[in-house]
Structure 1
Amino acid sequence: MDDLQLLREMRSDVGSAPPAALARGRKSLMSRISHSSPKEAQPTLRPIRLRRRLLFASAAAALIAGGVVVADVVRPGAPGATADAAEVLNNAAAVTIRTTDPVLAPGQYLKIETKELTASGAQTSDGDQVNWQETTGGQVYIPANRDEEWVWHREPRVPVESASAKAKALAAEMAATMQRMPEGQPPVVGIVRAKGGAFYGNDPVAIIGTPLKDANELPKDPRALLDVIYERTKGAGKNPGSEAFVTIADGLRTGVVPAGLRAALYKAAALIPGVTLSDRRATIDGRTGTAIGIPSPDGAERTEIIIDPESGLVIGEQSVLLKDYPGSPAGTVVGWTSVRTSVVDSAP
């Protein structure tokens, strides 16, 4: 699928993001360019991103301590996921255990390719709020020896074809600002290289608080693993279950978490109250899988992971409105990320 076709499909299939959904992403604004100087940040533009936590180059993850005090965990008291959702998740875990992780020969790379549709916006100097949707993508190349240099090709953020002229102008201004990185700092668009995957100075993590290199040290017992996640996300949101589910989704969609931990994460998700099966034939970026999700604390949208039942891999993630908004009825997909994993012989 070429870029133009992708944009056209987004224009016809996805409505504009509502202000309420955009506002929820305000706090995570510009997390990927946190190394730019304060003077170079936009004084009159206030960009907004509807984005989930990122496991590559996540500054927040680097600040989380690894210790766990299980006695202090806030564990929801209700039963776990619905029966049909738990069945899908436990089946995915079983398939994952039977599936061998890719084995790379020297010189080969594990390629993790993502495409995204996100909500964005900016407030102009005269106070006008302009919202739009935009696409982006990227490819991470992970060497056979993970201590060696990783390569991240970061694509620019492009407003969808249906965005207004004003939105496109603001997006261009934001993009220009993002390019003005301090001398010696890696770019936010283009090729970024980092030994061991430590992009922007932060090691890649398996789940929040645990570096990828220590993934096998996490408990494989689903309840114990979920307790760890509850502890590390305590106070991050109004609903511990929702925060835990998003954390699990973040780990699963990286494509680099070892099979044993992936299986445990699926089983842990099956223990979270409020997790439901939302669509047995959900399509994202041309591929079809089973969607499992949980509502946001305010009931406005549902975060879903889409699982390929044949491989046990997460092939994408999306946010779906649960309430009607002007121009965006309930059921509208307001943002999505697709993930494809392959083995290649070279990197840029």
Structure 2
Amino acid sequence: MTEGKVRRVWSDEELDLALATLYADVDTDERRLRETRTGLVGERQETRDTRESRGTRGVRRGRQGQRGRRSWILAAAAVTALVAGLGMVQMIISARPGPPPDPGQPGAAARALEAAADRVVASAPVISPGQYRYGATQTWDRSDWPGPTRELSMRTESRTESWIPGDLAGECLLRIMVTGRYEWIVGTDEEALGTAMGRPEASNHEDRRPCPEFREVENWWMPRPAWLAGLPRDPDQLEEVLPEFNGGDLGTFEPNREWRMLDHACVVLATGQVPADLRAALYRVLARLPGVQITDPAANLDGRSGVGYGLIRGDVRRELIIEPGTGDLIGVRETRGGTVWSSTALTTGVAPGIGVRPPG
């Protein structure tokens, strides 16, 4: 929220720095800058004293009074230009990506998540008629199952693409692709023969229908677009809804409320279908979690760099990876015992039509 925001007063040092940035080719000697600033303020005070004396002594009209009035007009114009220029510099400086958050600073993760939410809101794209909110995911998920002589463990790849219109009365499209790619963590192809899992086979599935009919269930794992649209954007209200068990936990229930909130936020964001305003609200809720921390100040996921934010419990780390300059969500990741258990990399954008990928 921006209501009630307090504007910070610039110090003398910041003012001089801004002047130097605005007018790099002008003499910015510190002593002369202070003299100029003092002169402008003094001129304003002198003019105020003159106005106050008019009621008792009158004002001598003529060339001297005109000079004083002209000087004040010029001084006021200079002050106005200076303030406008400083405001421009402050806007430019505020718009630049800030430095990476310092994991050692208390509350660094909460402040960085709030800042990321602000950037998401400021840069949220407008979905015009005929356009679609596009989301693409690449997920590597781990599975474990008993083998002939030991527990087998494998990571498999799947991809999704979704197109959701701004008007949810239109059509939605979801493509799900099991790529057939996999990597063994523990085990071999020979060991998997005749077991419950075996090697994954490539497959494709497409679901295209009116958005109100899209998907039969409503939960954090498989959210209907209309269900996402109905979730509260107010962080206080969203904080009450986020930990709710809604049937999507696949037979498991996490008893820790904070961990459950993070888990639900991660899985719904990992669908790639969450609109910008809801993503910002989720960031703000996660910023309030007790124990939230910068889990990886230099995270890399699918070749993109960001900062990891989340919770650590024992040897398990659950995190969102956010690009600090834009607030874009790069993906989510879970690590157990130093090994990546699952990860999802995201790409989002605005598509010119259903089934058409965004340009670029």
Matches within 5 A, 1:103-252: 103-106=127-130, 108-124=131-147, 128-143=150-165, 145-146=167-168, 147-160=170-183, 164-166=188-190, 169=193, 173=198, 175=200, 189-196=203-210, 201-203=215-217, 207=220, 211-232=224-245, 236-252=253-269
Distance 1:211 1:114, change over 3 A: closer
The CA deviation at 1:161 is 6.8
Match of 1:337 among 341, 344, 347: 344
Q: Deviations over 1:222-257 (max 9, x none)?
A: 233212223447992131110011112223333332
Structure 1 match to 2:288: 271
Are the equivalent residues in 2 in contact too, given 1:143–1:150 (CA < 8 A)? no
1:264 aligns to what SS in structure 2?
Answer: helix
The amino acid of 1:112's aligned partner reads G
Retained in 2: the 8 A contact 1:159–1:171?
no
Indicate the SS of the match to 1:273: coil
Question: How far apart are the structure 2 equivalents of 1:218 and 1:110?
Answer: 17
Q: Secondary structure at the match of 1:295?
A: strand
TM-aligned CA distance change 1:165 to 1:220, over 3 Å: closer
Residue segments in structure 1 that go unaligned for 5+ positions in a row: 1-80, 180-188, 324-329
**Distance of 2:212 and 2:196 partners within structure 1:** 28
SS at match of 1:282: strand
Question: Is the Cα–Cα contact under 8 Å of residues 142 and 150 in structure 1 kept in the other structure?
Answer: yes
Query: How many angstroms apart in 2 are the aligned matches of 1:195 and 1:312?
Result: 31
How far the C-alpha of 1:265 sits from its partner, in A, is 1.2
User: Which whole-Å CA distance do the structure 1 matches of 2:305 and 2:118 have between them?
Assistant: 19
Q: Is the 8 A contact 1:118 1:336 kept in 2?
A: yes
Q: Which residues in structure 2 correspond to 1:250-265 (within 5 Å)?
A: 250-265=267-282
Distance 2:289 2:236 in 1: 10
Shift of residue 192 of structure 1?
1.5
Q: Distance in 1 between matches of 2:189 and 2:140?
A: 19
Q: Deviation at 1:210? A: 7.5
Q: In the TM superposition, what is the alpha-carbon distance from 1:291 to its structure 2 partner?
A: 0.4
Structure 2: how far apart are the matches of 1:240 and 1:119? 24
Q: 1:112: Cα distance to partner?
A: 1.5
Deviations along 1:262-297, whole A, 9 cap, x unmatched?
Answer: 22211111111121111222110011111001124x
Task: Provide structure 2 residue ranges, at least 5 long, that are not aligned to the other structure.
Answer: 1-104
Greater share of residues in helix = 2
- Residue 100 of structure 2 is matched in structure 1 by none
Task: Give the distance between the partners of 1:198 and 1:337, measured in 2 at CA.
Answer: 27
Partner of 1:347: 355
Q: Matched residues, percent identical? A: 24
TM-score (norm 1): 0.60
Assess if the C-alpha contact under 8 Å between 2:134 and 2:164 holds in 1. Answer: yes
Name the amino acid aligned to 1:317: V
What is the number of equivalent residue pairs in this alignment?
244
Q: Distance between the aligned counterparts of 2:233 and 2:296, measured in 1?
A: 28
CA contact (8 A) 1:290 1:308 kept: yes
- The equivalent residue for 2:326 is 311
Q: Say which structure, 1 or 2, has more relative contact order (CA 8 Å, 6+ apart).
A: 1
1:284–1:195: structure 2 CA closer, same or farther, 3 Å change rule? Answer: same
The RMSD of aligned alpha carbons is 3.4
Q: Pick one of 89, 98, 107 that aligns with 2:122.
A: 98
**d(CA) in 1 for partners of 2:230, 2:355:** 30
Q: 1:173 Cα shift?
A: 4.3
What is the TM-score of this pair, normalised by structure 2?
0.58
> How many angstroms does 1:144 deviate by?
5.3
**Matched residue SS, 2:295:** strand
CA change 1:218–1:88 in 2 (3 A) is same
